[in-house]
């Protein structure tokens, strides 16, 4: 900009030749031009514009004509917002500061949504009079958009984790996303049922013309308003022009929603693209992550529905069981559940016992040894089995003796602690005549214990357990399947899909939580740690993939080399760098990874280099962006290197990358002393 100013025709400009400018203006211009921070000066009552090189991205297509132009004319699109501010500064000399201020700038071919942090201060002439405005500014658009999109991802994850049915999933997802109308002006979700070639509208939000939201779309008809049949074969979806404009929105992205197993189409996510933003890779990645979350949730919800069906089935068995079943909770043995048969045995009504201590309902049983038996099972966790035990029941005008076979079984929480007892009982008052029949019933009782154990676990978690309980129920189900069913290929494949869904769901939540924590928290307490110890521990964790790929890891770090750093955070840094080097290795050669350290001025330089796929050096800085992935042939969320960068920067260091396509990549981590 210095050269441009020198070559500018100031003789024909109202400010005249620079020789006649106030010395204060010249000094401010010199300061501005030498700064790497975006700055500009607006001079005189007409606010003629001067700016430095760092400010050029803010101008966009307004460069080079902005130099010497009047600010109110050049920034006409935002002058309603900032014109009054400038007038006040020129009149009063009061400074003005704004943080993340939204300005729609016409610096491209559209009015772009941008965010700015800046300060206006008066600029004085040689006489000490206010003669203009000096501004230092910084564009925060990427940061604001990133935070907003991250919040949408978290909100969607939170919402979908509580959805129980597919019928509720579409409306819940779209309603949640409607809060971010800037990035998602409108959205539609279509679901595909099994092998159907028809997609059905499951949810929508935003202002959507009726023509763009048909209740169903054929995947085989090329004339549909949305080409879903074509998109079903495109893993990354496509951008389509709208057949009917939706306000200012002219385009939408169409993405396939794939089940967590990755091999079955579940539906489609259609999102309007903001007319005030460029459709960048970050914007695309945001939409892709939303679709991925939906796919994971669809898989999870379908699994939940299957589990609920089984729970309903077990509850039906419980209610209709020919044996008495009750669940007694806590040290006071509160009757949480009592089926009709056990109420018949106790000679009471179900409504009179639920929620009450069992010995308030049957006080006469205390002195007959039943409380001692329950106390022993609670204390030891050892089941108690009894046969032909008499129970004397006190009725209004008489005593009634019933004979019971019963089992007291401990009910444990997720930590293995006994929290209650499940009791099953059979009345055998006519045992002499029916002993053999009772023995057969006992066998049937033992045969149902496995299902009852499943029910106890579900009941102890209110029959609506979170994802970890789903995993436990899946384990329990597989253990009690008949051997020939469990060994079937269909069951193995189904269980594989289920576990894959659970693990993917846990990974998404874990990744966003880790990103949010990394962006929010400072570095943990540092202390002297041995780098070789960190590398050894990481290599032990990665031993399976190291063995599988034949990777060679060569360290050139002297024994006892220490740095001051959080052990956990350094382990995270090394784990991400080494695992990425193996994950993105070249198919043409075995992975080779070298790790070394070198002293630097104020830093220890840790280098991790590999012979993997590599990338273009021009693309290298992009790999540290949130959710950015330059290779998509392997699984990943695009946050590992982002987290590494944040950890290192939070500790006062920095990370650099050098890479060559098909040669390899070297990361240099500058760790402060």
Count, residues in the chain: 673
The mean pLDDT of 327-351, rounded to a whole number, is 90
Give the mean pLDDT of 255-267: 86
User: For residue 605, what pLDDT is reported?
Assistant: 94
Q: What is the mean pLDDT of residues 547-576?
A: 91
The span from the CA of 92 to the CA of 345, in Å, is 90
Q: What does the pLDDT average to over 161-180? A: 93
Q: How many helices (H) and strands (E) does the chain have?
A: 21, 23
**Residue 519 in contact with residue 646, Cβ under 8 Å?**
yes
Cβ-contact 539, 555 below 8 angstroms = no
Show the domains of the chain with their CATH numbers.
2-139 (3.30.450.20), 145-309 (3.30.450.40), 322-447 (3.30.450.20), 527-672 (3.30.565.10)
The pTM of the full predicted model, rounded to 2 decimals, is: 0.52
Is the predicted pLDDT of residue 468 greater than 70, yes or no?
A: no
The residue with tokens 């893993």 is: 235
Segment among 306-315, 503-512, 573-582 with least mean pLDDT: 503-512
List beta partners, residue 407. Answer: 385, 424
Measured between its terminal Cα atoms, the distance across the chain in Å is 39
Distance of CA 556 to the CA centre of its chain: 37
Mean pLDDT across the stretch 636-658? 84
Question: Residue 302 has which token pair?
Answer: 């379908």
Distance set, CA 216 to CA 193, 202, 226, 292 (Å):
12, 9, 11, 22
Q: Please report the sign of the dihedral spanned by the C-alpha atoms of residue 373, residue 376, residue 381, residue 384.
A: negative
Letter string b/e over residues 379-417, b meaning 16 or more CB atoms within 10 A of that residue's CB? eeeeebeeeebebebeeeeeeeebbbbbbbbbbeeeeee
- Asked if 501 and 495 touch (Cβ cutoff 8 Å), the reply is no
Which pLDDT score is estimated for 627?
Answer: 55
Among residues 534, 548, 554, the alpha carbon closest in space to that of 671 is found at 534
149-157: average pLDDT:
96
Q: Which residue has the higher pLDDT, 624 or 76?
A: 76
Q: Which residue spans within 197-323 are E strands per DSSP? A: 198-206, 216-218, 238-246, 249-258, 265-272
- pLDDT band at residue 459 using 50, 70 and 90 as cut-offs: very low
Each residue of 484-514: pLDDT tens digit? 766 788 777 777 767 666 665 555 555 555 5
pLDDT in tens, 17-26: 999 999 999 9
| Number of C-beta neighbours around residue 71 at 10 A | 21
Q: Which residues contact 41 (CB under 8 A, 6 or more apart)?
A: 25, 28, 29, 32, 49, 50, 51, 123, 132, 133, 134, 135
The pLDDT value recorded for residue 524 is 56
DSSP 139: E
The answer to whether the peptide bond before residue 651 is cis (omega within 30 degrees of 0) is: no
**Residues near 458 by Cβ (< 8 Å), separated by ≥ 6?**
311, 314, 465, 469, 473
Q: Which residues does residue 334 pair with via DSSP β-bridges, in sequence order? A: 329, 357
User: In this predicted model, what pLDDT tens digit does every residue of 412-429 receive, in sequence order?
Assistant: 998 999 999 999 998 887
User: Does the pLDDT at position 462 exceed 80?
Assistant: no
Q: What phi, psi does 593 have (nearest 5°)?
A: -125, 125
């Amino acid at each position: 900009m210095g050269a441009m100013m020198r070559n500018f025709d100031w003789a024909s400009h109202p400010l005249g030749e620079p020789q006649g400018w106030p010395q204060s203006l010249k000094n401010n211009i010199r300061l501005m031009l030498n700064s790497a921070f975006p700055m500009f000066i607006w001079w005189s009552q007409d606010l003629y514009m001067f700016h430095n090189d760092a400010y050029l991205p803010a101008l966009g297509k307004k460069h080079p004509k902005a130099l010497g132009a009047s600010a109110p004319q050049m920034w006409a699109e935002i002058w309603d917002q900032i014109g009054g501010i400038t007038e006040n500064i020129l009149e009063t000399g009061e400074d003005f500061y704004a943080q993340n201020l939204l300005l729609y700038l016409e610096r491209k071919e559209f009015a772009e949504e941008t965010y700015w942090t800046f300060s206006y201060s008066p600029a004085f002439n040689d006489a000490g009079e206010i003669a203009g405005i000096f501004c230092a500014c910084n564009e925060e658009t990427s940061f604001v958009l990133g935070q907003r999109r991250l919040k949408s991802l978290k909100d969607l994850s939170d919402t979908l984790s509580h959805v129980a049915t597919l019928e509720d999933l579409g409306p819940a997802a779209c309603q949640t996303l409607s809060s971010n109308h800037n990035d998602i002006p409108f959205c539609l979700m279509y679901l595909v049922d099994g092998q159907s070639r028809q997609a059905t509208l499951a949810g929508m939000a935003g202002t959507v013309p009726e023509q763009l939201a048909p209740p169903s779309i054929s995947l085989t008809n090329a004339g549909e308003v949305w080409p879903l049949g074509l998109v079903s074969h495109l893993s990354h979806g496509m951008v389509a022009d709208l057949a009917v404009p939706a306000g200012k929105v002219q385009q939408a992205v169409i993405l396939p929603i794939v089940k967590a197993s990755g091999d079955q189409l579940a539906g489609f996510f259609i999102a309007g693209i903001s007319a005030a933003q460029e459709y960048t890779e970050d914007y695309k990645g945001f939409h892709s992550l939303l679709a991925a979350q939906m796919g994971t949730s669809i898989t999870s919800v379908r699994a939940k529905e299957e589990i609920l069906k089984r729970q309903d089935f077990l509850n039906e068995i419980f209610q209709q069981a020919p044996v008495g079943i009750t669940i007694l909770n806590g040290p006071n043995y509160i009757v949480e559940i009592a089926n009709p048969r056990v109420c018949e045995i106790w000679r009471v009504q179900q409504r009179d016992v639920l929620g009450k201590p069992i010995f308030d309902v049957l006080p006469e049983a205390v002195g007959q040894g039943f409380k001692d038996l329950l106390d022993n099972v609670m204390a030891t966790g050892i089941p108690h089995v009894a046969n032909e035990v008499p129970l004397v029941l006190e009725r209004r005008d008489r005593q009634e003796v019933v004979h019971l076979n019963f089992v007291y079984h401990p009910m444990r929480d997720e930590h293995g602690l006994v929290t209650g007892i499940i009791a099953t009982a059979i009345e055998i008052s006519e045992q002499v005549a029916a002993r053999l029949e009772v023995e057969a019933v006992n066998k049937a009782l033992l045969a149902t214990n496995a299902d009852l154990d499943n029910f106890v676990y579900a009941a102890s978690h209110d029959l609506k357990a979170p994802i970890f309980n789903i995993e436990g129920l899946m384990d329990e189900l597989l253990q009690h399947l008949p051997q020939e069913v469990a060994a079937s290929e269909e069951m193995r494949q189904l269980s594989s899909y289920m576990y894959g869904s659970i693990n993917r769901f846990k990974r998404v939540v874990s990744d966003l939580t880790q990103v949010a924590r990394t962006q929010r928290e400072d570095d943990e307490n540092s202390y002297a740690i041995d780098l070789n110890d960190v590398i050894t521990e990481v290599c032990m964790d990665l031993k399976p993939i190291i063995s599988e790929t034949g990777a060679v890891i060569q360290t050139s770090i002297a024994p006892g080399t220490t740095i001051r750093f959080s052990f956990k955070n350094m382990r995270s840094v090394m784990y991400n760098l080494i695992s990425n080097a193996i994950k993105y290795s070249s198919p043409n050669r075995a992975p080779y990874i070298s790790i070394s350290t070198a002293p630097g001025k104020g830093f220890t330089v840790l280098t991790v280099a590999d012979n993997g796929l590599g990338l273009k050096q021009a693309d290298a800085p992009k790999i540290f962006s949130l959710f950015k992935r330059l290779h998509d042939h392997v699984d990943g969320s695009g946050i590992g290197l982002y987290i590494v960068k944040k950890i290192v920067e939070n500790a006062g260091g920095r990370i650099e990358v050098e890479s060559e396509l098909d040669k390899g990549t070297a990361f240099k981590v500058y760790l402060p002393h």
